Structure 1
Amino acid sequence: MTDLHYLTGFGNQHSCEAVPGALPIGRNSPQRAPHGLYAELLSGSAFTAPRADNQRTWMYRRRPSVVVGGYAPLAHAHWKSGAAEGDCASPDPLRWGPTPLQGDGDFVDGLRSYAVNGEVGIQGMAALAYVAHRSMGRRALVNADAEMLLVPQQGRLLVTTELGRLEVAPGSIALLPRGLAFKVDPLDVPARGYVCENHGAALRLPELGPIGSNGLANPRDFEAPVAWFETEEGAYEIVKRYGGKLWRATQAHSPFNVVAWHGNLAPYRYDTARFMTINTVSFDHPDPSIFTVLTSPSDTPGWANVDFVIFPPRWMVAEDTFRPPWYHRNVMSEFMGLVLGQYDAKPEGFKPGGASLHNSHVPHGPDTEAFDKASGAELTPHKLDQTLAFMFETRWPLKPTSWALKGAPLETTYASCWQGLKDEFKA
């Protein structure tokens, strides 16, 4: 795809037009918008939210979103949201093998919820897998309950949104605001990856605190699409996620008909290779919070509704230190996935395309192999390379779904990876 163009800067006030003169000057909603277009506002926050937190985008489109038929329920066996749709939160560590690639559906058909918490549209999150074998064609998805963070693991995606198009490859992510129409078409088949459905406050860049003004994810590296509209005529099926359920309606035109737009509520893509990793240059393994790319804060400072954390290639130089993650019981719940390579705490058992879940205060850490190797390793500087793992970390326990416990490739012997850790105490 060579005809895609982008605007840079997370949360910036962007403006663009696919046709010269389509963007009104000096006012948002003139009596007659240029070129016979309709003005439409998409809000990502309350009108009276503080200026720094206020999110909204004005769109100038060929037809407004109100031109759509009535909605009817749409069945989907495996897309679950909210704590009420999960099984009991497990005190056991859980791990899954790679999501099977079988099937012939599109992105929506191929969504599978691993684990859920919170309340739909208010707080919490859901961790999902997707497998896509074909284009969504004349079908679009609107998630009115949550923003969606896409983490491709295998295969490039073309993400078409009302505000333009994004090409997203493994190693990059896509952030899609709540309420925005989009469709996901695999450029390589089959495509597989992960999704975080965020029901709480919108994801944003974390504060840097003592790190200072530079580090972690730089705002300018987030890319928003420029205005683009579909010219092909014909009906579209609109699939809407609303109230934790799926609905469908039909309209006679494309929802991707925005000729110009301006605002700070936009979809973004981000290449994780641009993440400025912070790490120790003396001793001890630092907290994984230094790898936070985006955060959705809660009403309790420091206890995120959900954090998106990555473990990218990085140099390991700590002296007199056990370099992999330590054994711990975290107050936060951790859902992990592996995009490529090996994860240093589970060098063989954790596979790309797989996932793990360690709920609040569930003990976990390096398996026996990783512990033995790291305990005796020569502590010369070395680089963890050709690897990318990530974590959705949330303050509430995650409840596995029935698919995760009965349909997904759940590893029933996962906990045995620690049974080789012996009592080596010497008085």
Structure 2
Amino acid sequence: MSGFNNEFETEALPGALPEGRNSPQKCAYGLYAEQFSGTAFTAPNATNARSWLYRMRPSVRHMQHFRPVDRPLWKSAPAAFEDAPLGQLRWNPIAVPVEPTSFISGIRTITTAGSVLAQAGMAAHIYVANADMTDDYFFNADGEMLLVPEMGRLRIITELGILDVEPLEICVLPRGMMFRVELVDGSARGYICENYGPRFTLPERGPIGANSLANPRDFKYPTATYEEKESPCRVETKWGGKFYGTDIMHSPLDVVAWHGNYAPYKYDLRHYNTIGSISFDHPDPSIFTVLTAPTGEPGTANVDLAIFPPRWLVAEDTFRPPWYHRNIMSEFMGLIQGQYDAKEEGFVPGGISLHNMMLPHGPDSFGFEKASNADLAPQKLDETMAFMFETRLPQLVTEFAACHDSLQKNYINCWDGLEKKFDGTIEGKK
């Protein structure tokens, strides 16, 4: 199934979906009808999100008698570390543990922004895993989870069906969606944006018009698939920044049919239709936005997902890498594949950089010299894919990230070679 924010319907057994009504007196196959809402009931039609589920047991049977669970490395905003460094920061890839570690157990928070209780802001995590969630299930009541795999394929089994996600694809799990994760290749690493605010949607294209960037037809949704497992299982939730678990005697993934527009989805980043200048200078990097979670302030996001994919560079008389800049947004960047053109050294797949609001950044000295003296013939940037979780809020570094040995102590030195070149005796451009 494909689309974006459209109404879908799917059933694993014929006739499981009722016709013409949402909650009949008796559902087929002895199922229970349940509405799953991701927005306020009275949200405008354009943003209203809900699905009707037809399941073996109502979800209240999956969520009883919760007890506290300790997840010390998964933090929620605000989670400031008093001794966190201020400045431009970069990390090497964090290794997958040797001990058995599931997807949920392998989540480590790098930054937080805003407030989880105010449902504003985000957290940026990495995940490192080498074990399946066989009888373990999870749902996040605090926010939706945007997954960006860097290494290893994921099979994400949700209440509404299965999504197979590989590096160069992304997946969004809505707030409250029950799921478990299997590792197709035995181990996996990647990034997560936990969005506390309004759910992700496509950015407005404005003068670009009806086409390009991420097109709705390329977003894929699951078909109904259910587990009928009657054996001990564990359900865990994140709620209010804390974790709770419960034991049940069956799988909670028992939805036989569903219809609506509140559902998990995936998107292949290779389908992104990149826009750029064909004359001179750069458009703003907002042209690389795949998804945005808006705020009440027009044009200012709670969090954006932007990517920097393979593309042609053709602008005349133009410094082609990203220019030096300071801005109000805080930029958490990761690399999925290849090199990033502004940082060819030191930033590798699985790595992280953080350039917080109003802290200057841009190409390193090697990148500046290379781009300043390059032949300005058409150039193809290929075999590359970087991304950014960008928010209007300051991203506070966690103790885990600030103290981890993957933090590059000398990252700031990459700009040391940017010496003064000014010569007031030379008129015009040299």
* Shorter-normalised TM range: over 0.9
Cα distance between partner residues in 2 of 1:21 and 1:88: 59
2:25 pairs with one of 24, 31, 36: 31
Amino acid at match of 1:100: A
2:7 pairs with one of 10, 13, 16: 13
CA-atom RMSD, angstroms? 1.1
Question: Residue 100 of structure 1: CA displacement?
Answer: 1.3
Q: Secondary structure at the match of 1:108?
A: coil
Range with greater deviation from structure 2 (353-362 or 401-410): 401-410
Q: Secondary structure at the match of 1:331?
A: coil
Cα distance between partner residues in 1 of 2:299 and 2:283: 17
Amino acid at match of 1:34: A
Verify: 1:363 aligned to 2:360, yes or no: yes
The unaligned stretches of length 5 or more in structure 2 are: 425-430
Amino acid at match of 2:112: V
**Is the alpha carbon distance of 1:326 and 1:238 closer, same or farther for their aligned partners in structure 2, counting shifts above 3 Å?**
same
Cα distance between partner residues in 2 of 1:338 and 1:215: 23
Amino acid at match of 1:211: I
Superposed CA offset, 1:90-128 (max 9, x none)? 540010001112232000110000000111151000000
Cα distance between partner residues in 1 of 2:32 and 2:82: 46
Cα distance between partner residues in 2 of 1:348 and 1:224: 38
The sequence identity of aligned pairs, in percent, is 55
Contact 1:283 1:321 survives alignment (8 Å): yes
Aligned to 1:96: 91
2:307 pairs with one of 306, 310, 323: 310
Question: Residue 251 of structure 1: CA displacement?
Answer: 1.3
The unaligned stretches of length 5 or more in structure 1 are: 1-6
Aligned to 2:67: 72
Aligned to 2:389: 392
Q: Secondary structure at the match of 1:290?
A: helix
Aligned to 2:195: 198
Aligned to 1:4: none
Aligned to 2:373: 376
Verify: 1:109 aligned to 2:105, yes or no: yes
Superposed CA offset, 1:323-363 (max 9, x none)? 00000011110000000100000001111101011110001
Q: In the comparison of the two structures, how many residue pairs are matched? A: 421
**Is the alpha carbon distance of 1:408 and 1:193 closer, same or farther for their aligned partners in structure 2, counting shifts above 3 Å?**
farther
1:47 pairs with one of 37, 41, 45: 41
Question: Residue 51 of structure 1: CA displacement?
Answer: 1.2
Verify: 1:255 aligned to 2:249, yes or no: no
Cα distance between partner residues in 2 of 1:220 and 1:250: 39
Aligned to 2:428: none
Cα distance between partner residues in 1 of 2:411 and 2:186: 30
Cα distance between partner residues in 2 of 1:15 and 1:88: 51
Amino acid at match of 1:107: F
Aligned to 1:245: 242
Range with greater deviation from structure 2 (247-256 or 86-95): 86-95
Amino acid at match of 2:217: R
Contact 2:97 2:129 survives alignment (8 Å): no
**Is the alpha carbon distance of 1:87 and 1:399 closer, same or farther for their aligned partners in structure 2, counting shifts above 3 Å?**
farther
Range with greater deviation from structure 2 (15-24 or 245-254): 245-254
Contact 1:88 1:400 survives alignment (8 Å): no
**Is the alpha carbon distance of 1:233 and 1:85 closer, same or farther for their aligned partners in structure 2, counting shifts above 3 Å?**
farther
Q: Secondary structure at the match of 1:135?
A: coil
Q: Which runs of 4+ in 1 moved over 6 A?
A: none
Q: Secondary structure at the match of 1:117?
A: strand
Cα distance between partner residues in 1 of 2:263 and 2:227: 18
TM-score, scaled relative to structure 1:
0.97
Q: Secondary structure at the match of 1:82?
A: coil
Question: Residue 85 of structure 1: CA displacement?
Answer: 4.8
Q: Secondary structure at the match of 2:287?
A: helix
Contact 2:84 2:398 survives alignment (8 Å): no
Aligned 1:297-336 pairs, distance under 5 A: 297-336=294-333
Question: Residue 257 of structure 1: CA displacement?
Answer: 0.6
Range with greater deviation from structure 2 (75-84 or 410-419): 75-84
Aligned to 1:216: 213
Superposed CA offset, 1:221-270 (max 9, x none)? 00000000013331221110000011111111111110000000010010
Cα distance between partner residues in 1 of 2:3 and 2:156: 19
Cα distance between partner residues in 2 of 1:301 and 1:86: 31
**Is the alpha carbon distance of 1:266 and 1:393 closer, same or farther for their aligned partners in structure 2, counting shifts above 3 Å?**
same
Range with greater deviation from structure 2 (300-309 or 228-237): 228-237
Cα distance between partner residues in 2 of 1:144 and 1:270: 23
Amino acid at match of 2:274: T
Verify: 1:228 aligned to 2:222, yes or no: no
Question: Residue 55 of structure 1: CA displacement?
Answer: 0.2
